[in-house]
A and B are shown apart, each in its own frame.
Chain A
Amino acid sequence: MTREGIVNALVLVCLVLVPGWAFYAGETFTITLATRVVILALAAVGLNIALGLGGLVSLGHAVFFGLGGYTMGILAYHVQAYEPLFEWPFLFEGTKSMPAIWLAAVVLSALTAFVIGLLCLRTSGAYFIMITLAFGQMFYFFSISWSAYGGEDGLSIYVRNGFPGLNTLDPIQFYGLCFCVLVVVLWFASRLNRSRFGLALNAARQSPERVEAVGLRPFHLRLTAFVISGAVTGLAGALFADLNRFVSPAMFSWQMSGEIMILVILGGVGRLYGPVVGAIVFVALEHVLGDLSDYWHIYLGLLLLTVVLFVRGGLIGAVTGRRAAHD
């Protein structure tokens, strides 16, 4: 096992033990914090596919996070309000079933990522950052002005959506569900990284001319990565809304995009568990420092600066050194 493998395993063990302890100690709030960690990590794992593997610095991933959130919000709202979502061509009353909501969130985010990617990926560098940011702002202001679904006030969903065989209102059960989703997605991401596609995408980031010279289009590779990335972040958005039982335009905000990116950079760009470590540290700081001062972001900023300036490969890189060659 490589050193990075050991660190990754330890992180997973932490994510099992800490909530496990909290469950026995009756610390419900800690379980909720852990759930927040896992869901934010999932969103950042999504971004890491575009940013870490593809080198696509997207400052618009809140679009997918928010879309996931609003997918959940809208589908559940119609059930809650007894107003069918549509009556033609068939009657659809919305749904409170998580698997159905997840599917809708993933499909919608993927389609949106496809369209946005088609436009954005014609640019690169600072232009790419700006145009993804612009899309984020479009969705943000649209959600604010869409009064049918709460506009600026957002939407509250009073009862958490259901998952077959689980009581999702029980914090530890909901945590377990989110944790399982994260583990499955991490496993998928690690397979992706080592697949033919991952190899080509990695190379397209480092040397696009080379990829073209072997007969592949970097654009196609990047677009596919962007779609997968958006879909994962969208799924995280649906879970995040379910955690809070609330969705608002804040999920579409550029601060949200920035936060997801901070998680990736803090933990280690391109490292499989980077986003997970980033999310743990971020939520811990938010909680510990947030108690001390409303201005805790100052300390987050300092930490981020330190990591970016002095540590290659984020916090994971600080512990494991340079990225090991693929084993």
Chain B
Amino acid sequence: MTEAVLETRDLCKRFGALEVSKDVSISLRPGEIHAVIGPNGAGKSTLIKQICGAEKPDDGRIYLLGEDVTHLSVDARARAGLARTFQVSALAMEDTVLENAALGVVGASGKAFRFFRPVLKDTEVLSRVEAALERVGLADAAGKQTSELSHGQRRQLEVAIALTLAPKVFVMDEPMAGLGAEGSKTMTGFLDGLRHEAPILLVEHDMDAVFALADRISVLVYGSIIASGTVEEIRADPAVREAYLGDLS
């Protein structure tokens, strides 16, 4: 087995009496898409937050590229190569699409403390931003104010910003949400190719997308991983069927 790019070991997190993560261990290997599925309230979002650094686990460790990042801040993990997309779009709504994507380039370059040259006249920044927007299909909307984007376009912009970071790992929190059937299909095709650039930890509700994309699936129920395996194994797993997929079969 090749070494995991991203790995959690025995993560535990409690909010009062509520255990939202119980010994969660998952790993992400190079070139794969690892989907985390589970019913609402299973602790998927809290898991993502712990991986990205927005919440501190009570116990357990997180490794990124073999380094222990458990105590690193959100921004330090981002600089270490972790790119996250948000479930609820976190974008600068008053700014243009282009500016939002440029923020990714500025962040990734580590040169944010430049006060004088207009960032949008920097050809190097522009070429990377335009390439990223082109790839997610937002090139035509580059000049639009972000608040004018449809819900689906905002998801695309989230992904475009992640692309500008040229990360080692993608952590995507429901990138399909609100995309509609057609958009969802396009995004599925796009993510399919993206796994070869950097592996993707995917939290997603859209089961068609998950089954089409995932190399491995982990099922999270009440904070515990109740099953982990290939698509076929998960589909066949009786515990999963009872807890989660029952209504689908």
Contact = CB atoms under 8 A, between A and B. Distances in A.
Interface of A: 191-192, 194-200, 202-203, 206-207, 209-217, 221, 224, 323, 325-326
A203 B119 contact: no
10 contacts: A191-B115, A197-B113, A197-B115, A200-B107, A206-B94, A209-B54, A213-B84, A224-B113, A326-B96, A326-B99
Interface stretch (B7-15, B58-66, B71-79, B184-192): B71-79
A191 B116 contact: yes
B236 interface: no
Interface in B81-123: 83-84, 86, 90-96, 99-100, 102-104, 106-108, 110-120, 122
Number of chain B interface residues as a range: 35 or more
Nearest to A322: B145
A212 B75 contact: yes
Given A192-B115, A199-B119, A215 B92 contact: no
A178 to B, nearest CB: 23
B238 interface: no
Given A199-B99, A214-B165, A326-B120, A207 B91 contact: yes
Contacts of A216: 75, 106-107, 112
Contacts, number: 118
Given A207-B92, A214-B106, A215-B165, A197 B112 contact: yes
B214 interface: no
A196 B112 contact: yes
A323 B114 CA distance: 24
B221 interface: no
Contact of A200 (B52, B112, B120, B122): B112
A196 B99 contact: no
Contacts of B119: 194-196, 198-199
A207 B89 CA distance: 10
A314 to B, nearest CB: 15
Contacts of B79: 215
Contacts of B39: none
Q: Which of B75, B79, B91, B143 has the most CB of A within 10 A?
A: B75
Contact of A212 (B74, B122, B161): B74
Contacts of A191: 115-118
Nearest to B122: A196
Q: Which of A194, A199, A202, A224 has the most CB of B within 10 A?
A: A199
B169 to A, nearest CB: 13
B118 A213 contact: no
Contact of B91 (A196, A197, A199, A210): A210
A210 B84 CA distance: 9
A196 B110 CA distance: 10
Contacts of A199: 95, 99, 102-103, 106, 119
B106 A200 contact: yes
Nearest to B53: A212
B146 to A, nearest CB: 9
A213 B52 contact: yes
Nearest to B117: A195
Contact of A214 (B107, B120, B145): B107
Contacts of A224: 113
Contacts of A194: 118-120
A215 B168 CA distance: 13
A326 B145 CA distance: 10
Nearest to B96: A325
A196 B111 contact: yes
A215 B166 CA distance: 12
Given A196-B113, A196-B115, 8 more contacts: A196-B106, A198-B119, A199-B99, A199-B103, A209-B90, A214-B104, A215-B78, A216-B106
A211 B107 contact: yes
B99 A206 contact: no
B86 to A, nearest CB: 7
A325 B100 CA distance: 12
A156 to B, nearest CB: 38
